[in-house]
């Protein structure tokens, strides 16, 4: 099942300056609170554009995650989209001019793996209340409820991390813009 999250933030800088920063993939990924970037390797030569590929290795909690991404949409000063090569995650960054600068809209489409839902590798032992309910109703219904609860918990955590990440990007861009103007 494909999940989606979307957050936005207004940045007091022109879309051109925001886009220039967004193309700097490695520094942007370093600001992500969900993981610690260990390695970043650009796999294609030249500037970032449609078709550019890169490999990421990071630590998330106690897990090492690795993925390869490709830029699938690139409209200068308007939109920057990437998709991991396994098709599990697509990220779109859209820029909209505002009176104060730029509205950065971050959208993600992704599939939650069982590993994300149950990092230890197995579904947890159902709590006593679920075991009792099992005697009364179909056990699958209780499992579905627990799975939905876990999905909602993960989505909430992802949204919180995304908000922090966008604030960090905003601060980085606005600080860089202020320094550049001096």
Q: Give 81-89's long-range contacts (Cβ < 8 A, gap of 24+).
A: 85/53, 88/113
- Region of poorest pLDDT, from 33-37, 70-74, 110-114, 177-181: 177-181
pLDDT for position 182: 42
| CB 58 within 8 Å of CB 35 | yes
Is the pLDDT higher at 19 or at 152?
19
The residues with which 80 forms a beta bridge, in sequence order, are 74, 93
Q: Which CATH superfamily is domain 2-181 in?
A: START domain (3.30.530.20)
For residue 164, pLDDT over 80 is answered with yes
What residue ranges do the domains of the chain occupy?
Answer: 2-181
Confidence of residue 126 (pLDDT cuts 50, 70, 90): low
Percent of the chain with pLDDT over 70: 78
d(CA 84, CA 113): 14
pLDDT tens profile 66-93: 999 999 999 999 999 999 999 889 999 9
pLDDT for position 2: 82
Q: What is the pTM of this model?
A: 0.78
């Amino acid at each position: 099942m494909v999940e989606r999250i979307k957050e936005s933030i207004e940045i007091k800088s022109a879309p051109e300056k925001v886009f220039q920063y967004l193309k700097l993939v490695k520094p942007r990924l370093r600001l992500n609170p969900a993981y610690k970037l260990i390695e970043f390797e650009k796999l294609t030569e030249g500037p970032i554009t449609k078709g550019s590929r890169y490999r990421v290795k990071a630590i998330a909690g106690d897990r090492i995650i690795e993925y390869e991404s490709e830029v699938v949409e690139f409209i200068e000063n308007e939109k920057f989209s990437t998709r991991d090569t396994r098709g599990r995650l697509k990220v779109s960054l859209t820029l909209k001019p505002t009176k104060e600068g730029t509205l950065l809209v971050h959208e993600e489409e992704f599939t939650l793996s069982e590993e994300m839902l149950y990092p230890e590798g197995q579904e947890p032992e159902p709590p006593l209340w679920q075991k009792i309910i099992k005697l009364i109703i179909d056990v699958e219904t209780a499992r579905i409820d627990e799975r939905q609860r876990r999905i909602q918990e993960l989505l909430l955590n992802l949204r919180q991390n995304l908000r922090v990440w966008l604030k960090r990007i905003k601060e980085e861009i606005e600080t860089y813009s202020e320094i550049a103007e001096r």
